[in-house]
Amino acid sequence: MTEHRNRELVFLILRFLEEQKYDDAVHRLEKDSGYFFNMRYFEDCVIHGEWDEVEHYLAGFTKVDENSDSTKILFAIRKQKFLEALDRHDHAKAVQILQRDLEPLLTFGDEFYDEVSSLFLPVVICREKERISKCADARSTRAALLSKIKMLIDASPLFHDKLQFPNFDHSRLRTLLKQR
């Protein structure tokens, strides 16, 4: 089967799975095939703070060292995960994220080292305020993060042909199967 036909078949299967409400299978096939990056699904995961799923889904489309946009996207996600652990006073988790997730990114440039170093000052200042509510809530910081990530994804050549789901005739799957 040619690459084009294989790609077309994956899109048709994705459409079928979505129509049948097999959401987990849809997102698994999107990730495993790497053909379609479902921005709506990704946005939902970010807004709900499902960081493991965010990174897992993203891994189907890019690797941390693939280009600078990929590194920046992963750094922003892991930074948010770290800050949220601090907000929950889960210091053990914050240290784990710092060591396991953020520290390996420091090898990709000084800008990441400087940003990791600066993570601590705003958190301390925010905590010293009378009410934590004066600091941004998780949902609004996630929305700001999402805006930044979407700009990086739009700018990345790795995602250019993966953000738009193609239009197919409803009988296209049947036609393809008959050609086999």
Taking only the tens place, the pLDDT of each residue in 159-179 is: 999 999 988 766 666 676 677
- Predicted confidence (pLDDT) per residue in 73-131, tens digit: 999 999 899 888 888 889 899 889 988 998 887 776 666 556 665 655 455 445 444 33
User: 118 in a domain, yes or no?
Assistant: yes
Cβ-contact 156, 74 below 8 angstroms:
no
pTM for the model stands at 0.81
Question: Where does residue 176 rank: exposed (0-12), middle (13-18), buried (19+ CB within 10 A)?
Answer: middle
User: 33 in a domain, yes or no?
Assistant: no
CB atoms within 10 A of CB 120: 10
User: 13 in a domain, yes or no?
Assistant: no
Which pLDDT score is estimated for 132? 42
User: 93 in a domain, yes or no?
Assistant: yes
Of 25, 85, 30, 83, nearest to 59 by C-alpha is 30
User: 31 in a domain, yes or no?
Assistant: no
User: 143 in a domain, yes or no?
Assistant: yes
- Predicted confidence (pLDDT) per residue in 10-19, tens digit: 999 999 899 8
Give the residue numbers spanning the domain of 84: 63-158
Q: How many domains does the chain have?
A: 1
User: 10 in a domain, yes or no?
Assistant: no
User: 28 in a domain, yes or no?
Assistant: no
Helix axes 110-118, 68-87, angle to 10 degrees: 10
